[in-house]
Amino acid sequence: MEKQKKQITVENTLTVKPPVVTILGHVDHGKTTLLDYIRQTKVAEKEHGGITQHIGAYQIELQGKKITFIDTPGHEAFSQMRRRGGQVADIAVLVVAADDGVMPQTKESISHIKAAQTPLIVAINKTDILGISVEKVKKQLAENGVSVEGYGGDVVAVNISARTGQGVDELLEMILLTSELIELKTNLKVALKAIVIESRLDKYRGPIATLLIKDGILKLGETIYGQTSFGKVRTMVDSNNKLVREALPSTPVEVSGLEKVPEVGDMFTTVESKAVAVEAEKKKVDLLKSMEQAPKGVINLILKADAAGSLEAIEASIYELSSEKQSINIIHKGTGDITESDVLLAVPTKSIVIGFNVEIMPSTQKLAEEESVMIRRFNLIYELLDELKEGIADVEHKRKVKATAVILARFETKEKRVLGVRVKSGILEGDDQITVYRNKEPIGEGKVISIKQKAEAVKSVSKGEECGIMLDTNVDFQEGDTIEAT
């Protein structure tokens, strides 16, 4: 009886959520035209004079129900989001042009949809063109593993014209029907999960991200944390350019207040305060430092997981991250919580201890701090792999950098650009290839043609020294920009 009460309570917290739809298909088959037509004719009440802000996704209202469209067409964007955020779209619409039929990118899109196990609707576009054969397209789809109704399967196919709007209403109705059949529900009381579908650096507002809410509720003023950024939500704008105070599941919103531009596919959750986010960020930095201190070309790990199956899956995925320049060596692996024995083994082997769904005793944590052993624990495999991959990429990059410098001044000549710089690390030499960064973002590349100190040509300058360098590039440098030489 007690168990039944608990189940009823959980069931009562579930709420129907709008479907999230992605549009895939071959280039020039009408994906963007279809999205634009739906946006222009169906956006709820045409708020603000019908001008909607392009934030990478938008919602429409039909028959009193909402549908969210991810406005980033293409299977690559779809896969990038799915790789880090799990199931992003609830329904996929595969657009196939009736005059072309199944093309290479159509086949790729089919593979990605099948890999995601996303419910599929086919939209056969350009059916207003005289002389086309819809049946031919359906046959080609069947040959490529998509069996539509009438061709041995149950996949719905709708004839449309994205240009004129013919059949689009029927397509939208089929999306709503499919949504009802798969019973999309969410729990508003669970922890926030929001995935980045677009991000950029705004000149005035700083780092901006479009978040699609998957679970829970995002509220204005909350502190959010992801794998590649964190911050306090300062502003939140919906696709109608309207300021909102909260966002429910399947709602896309553009937020500001982040410390840096996050990567597409990053998953955000809420944390208690900025201090908690800063501490989590510090742990990632510490992980990178541990990787840098490892023997050149090798990263040693001690791996602990909750079960043998998890251990096997993680081990296989970790070894896939190895490369010719940076190999990963698992010194020890096992199931169960992280112990003092794991920490003591990590000291002589210069290993990082990785835990998946496991605990750590306070005494073990204290020993790790005393011995300067890095311990990282994860509950999601993709977070574990992404952090390792990010760390490996940073280590490889830093090991390639010969020198870094800061720009103190710039001087224009008739032919070349001359910069006054101070070397911060390493040795800067003539013929070095350089990359210029502003706010940690690359803005241009070039080559050092010559180096001068006190009007005399020199071959190189070392850390702490100032010099003038001539470059073969016309990048718009500014004082304070940084240079990396390779």
What number of residues does the chain have? 486
Fold of 282-399: Rossmann fold (3.40.50)
**Contact criterion met (CB below 8 Å) for 74 and 89:** no
Fold exhibited by the domain 403-485: Elongation Factor Tu (Ef-tu); domain 3 (2.40.30)
User: Rounded to 5 degrees, what angle do the CA atoms 281, 332, 376 make?
Assistant: 10
Who's near 293: CB < 8 A, 6+ residues apart? 350
Locate CATH 3.40.50.300 in the chain. Answer: 13-186
The CATH number fitting domain 13-186, selected from 3.40.640.10, 3.40.50.300, 3.40.50.970, 3.10.28.10:
3.40.50.300
Q: Which helix (H) or strand (E) holds 278?
A: helix 274-293
What lies within 8 Å, CB to CB, of 193 at 6+ separation is 213, 214, 215, 216, 267, 268, 269
**CATH code of domain 188-271:** 2.40.30.10
pTM here is 0.59
CATH 3.40.50.10050 in the chain, residue ranges: 282-399
Give, for all 486 residues of the chain, the pLDDT tens digit: 344 433 334 445 688 899 999 998 888 898 889 998 998 887 644 443 334 456 788 899 888 899 999 876 666 566 666 655 556 889 999 999 999 999 988 888 888 888 778 899 999 999 999 888 999 999 999 999 999 988 888 999 999 999 999 999 999 999 999 999 999 988 888 889 999 888 888 888 889 999 999 989 999 999 998 878 889 999 999 988 889 999 999 999 999 999 888 887 888 988 877 777 777 776 666 665 665 555 556 778 888 988 887 888 888 887 777 655 557 788 888 888 998 888 888 887 788 888 888 998 888 888 888 887 888 888 877 777 777 776 655 554 555 677 888 888 887 665 567 888 888 888 888 888 888 888 777 787 888 888 988 888 888 888 878 888 888 776 778 888 888 887
For CATH 2.40.30.10, the residue range(s) in the chain are 188-271, 403-485
Helices vs. strands in the chain: H and E counts, helices first:
11, 28
Exposure of 403 in the CB half-sphere (CA atoms within 13 A): 23
Tell me the Cα Rg of the chain. 27
